Amino acid sequence: TDGVEIRVDLGVIAGRTFVNNASFGAYAAIVQSPAYRDDKARTTLDMLPDLLTRHQGPRLEVQVDDRRIAGPQAVLVSNNPYGSSDLAGLSRRARLDTGVLGVLAVTVDSAADAADLVRGSRTRALWRTACAEVVVDADAPFLPVGVDGEALSLPTPVRCTTRPGALRVRVPRNRPGVHRERPEMDWGRLRTLA
């Protein structure tokens, strides 16, 4: 009864709507495996070494505005950028109404890159940006993609865009993460009371 309406963005991947994110590369390939549903940890540990050393899976290329990233092992496109307070940048999104996609690309070329990534330190292995459109291409006609956790195979190149304010949502007025504004001081009333 004390709700407010807000408008939030939606992501679009190859004409399909997504709410949270779309993943390409290592994670997307892992979730495609039939064994993943039965034993996520074992499947990830079995497949990850070949994916990170590029012995398995398609070679990716990411185009954001006039910047091209060649060869990342993993790419995450999110509906609005994730925060940067943890290793994968998947902590939280402060807002879902900024009208941009978040892009996170991981390229591990050496043991030092992997160590920096695990330690969470600033590393050249992790590239972040925000944009209205990103295109992910590969050296294969179809690309495994995880869209909001669903395993898909999409024809390349895969175009991701945003639909700002596309979804109307009713949320509680007093909800976690929303700071209450103090009422403006009524100096005239204060003088009368004094």
Whole-prediction pTM: 0.76
Q: Write out pLDDT tens, residues 14-60.
A: 999 999 999 898 777 777 777 766 776 776 666 665 656 555 678 89
Pairing of strands 158-172, 74-79: unpaired
Share of the chain above pLDDT 70, in %: 72
Confidence band, pLDDT 50/70/90 cuts, at residue 2:
confident
Residue 193 has pLDDT above 50, yes or no: yes
- Residue 86 or 81, more confident: 81
Measure the CA–CA gap between 174 and 165, rounded to whole angstroms: 21
pLDDT at residue number 175: 77
39, two tokens: 């034993």
**With contact defined as beta carbons under 8 Å apart, do 140 and 114 qualify?**
no
| Cα 143 from chain centroid (whole Å) | 17
For 102-126, write each residue's pLDDT tens digit. Answer: 998 887 766 666 555 555 556 677 7
Q: How far apart are CA 83 and CA 118, in angstroms?
A: 17
| Average pLDDT value for the chain | 81
Residue 89 has pLDDT above 50, yes or no: no
Mean pLDDT to the nearest integer, 65-83: 89
Say which residue the tokens 């291409």 belong to: 137
